[in-house]
Amino acid sequence: MAAKPSIPKGTRDFSPVEMAKRNYIFNTIRDVYHLYGFQQIETPSMEMLSTLMGKYGDEGDKLLFKIQNSGDYFSGITDEELLSRNAAKLASKFCEKGLRYDLTVPFARYVVMHRDEITFPFKRYQIQPVWRADRPQKGRYREFYQCDADVVGSDSLLNEVELMQIVDTVFSRFGIRVCIKINNRKILSGIAEIIGEADKIVDITVAIDKLDKIGLENVNAELKEKGISDEAIAKLQPIILLNGTNAEKVATLKKVLATSEVGMKGVKESEFILNTLETMGLKNEIELDLTLARGLNYYTGAIFEVKALDVQIGSITGGGRYDNLTGVFGMSGVSGVGISFGADRIFDVLNQLELYPKEAVNGTEVLFVNFGEKEAAFSMEMLLKIRAAGIRAEIFPDAAKMKKQMSYANAKNIPFVAIIGENEMNEGKTMLKNMETGEQRLVSVEELIVALQK
């Protein structure tokens, strides 16, 4: 007996109903991006490893899926290297490509390669899958879609403001209550500076970013493990546990970071973003959260993260400002800022809260029953007019028993069934049955179109 097929851990199949839901998510996000003047691009699923490596920190590099070279990938590798069993070194020898980890680094590569064709500031969005060799768990997958929007070639903080408006608009359209958390890497750099650990900024941000997941005690243990002094850890506590209103937090930070030039710059940037958004009438809460660190090395300014308020799940959107990402590809001085919606997590949230609109998940609107050759030919003429009016319609392909055809309509949640027998053909009409109420009425093709369009 053949072995039952399976799929890799951390990946999923999606049924037609699930795909309808996913398309609702993508289309909603796409529509909002268009409202703000963003244009769509796509990049390849795989990139050169030289493009990807070193952009996500040590932890990110470990999560890259590497693609084995085709052909004789052992050529050029000595027996000594093979026997050393050094996985990282061997991978660098016979893997030149990798699956993309996110959409931001490929976008930076795209900007550098296409700089002569681009008008700056360049506002692009991208809706494509990414891959991470992570441990699969609830809400965390190895293959998942990101829906990114980035602006490059502009230092203006109005870009940050508009991106937060996009986040607010998207989640308002979904009906998901969220908290939009913002922070600034300059504030974190200032904190590292005043506690005397400026050179340990990456270690501090990586540890702080885990506060929600592992708790304060474990964060402190990790900081100590990274060589940060007890005195510095003690100074860090009141800062990362700061509470109060956004204005109160800003006022405290102005005092705490008064001697740090970079820290004060981050405070001023955050204050501008918060004050401007306050006048925009956001529907969702926005919070200055100093524990937000976003553990990616390329962020240099404002950073964002979005949490759903009614479902226990990780971040469902994130992003931030990066001033020097294109510099590693030989194009310095291009600032960028972007956000990324985690479509798969949003999918799970909408499922748990049952927030999908009926019209978003329903497919076929009317099924024509097939009684035989003549009836099918008559139905096909009607179908031409109905589909031309934009109504999703189908005919059962076989002249099967009525019960089977009705079961098919029920299984696919088709709300109406059109029944055409000899009497209906003589009158040039169809019997339209409402599958929910059981009500039936004889209608012309024009009346059927009007009924279904309602």
Q: What sign results for the dihedral spanned by CA atoms 416, 421, 423, 425?
A: positive
In whole angstroms, what is the distance from residue 45 CA to residue 130 CA? 8
Q: Which residues are annotated as a binding site for L-histidine?
A: 102-104, 132, 146, 150, 294, 298-299
AA letter at 319: G
- The answer to whether residues 300 and 202 touch, using CB atoms and an 8 Å cutoff, is no
CA distance between the termini of the chain? 52
In whole angstroms, what is the distance from residue 445 CA to residue 447 CA? 5
Residue 203: count other Cβ atoms within 10 Å of its Cβ: 17
- The answer to whether residues 273 and 164 touch, using CB atoms and an 8 Å cutoff, is yes
In whole angstroms, what is the distance from residue 371 CA to residue 389 CA? 25
Helices 16-35, 343-353: axis angle to 10 degrees equals 110
Per-residue CA distances from 396 to 73, 363, 391 (Å): 52, 15, 16
Q: Which residues are annotated as a binding site?
A: 102-104, 132, 146, 150, 294, 298-299
In whole angstroms, what is the distance from residue 30 CA to residue 170 CA? 10
Q: State the pairing for strand pair 122-131/97-99.
A: unpaired
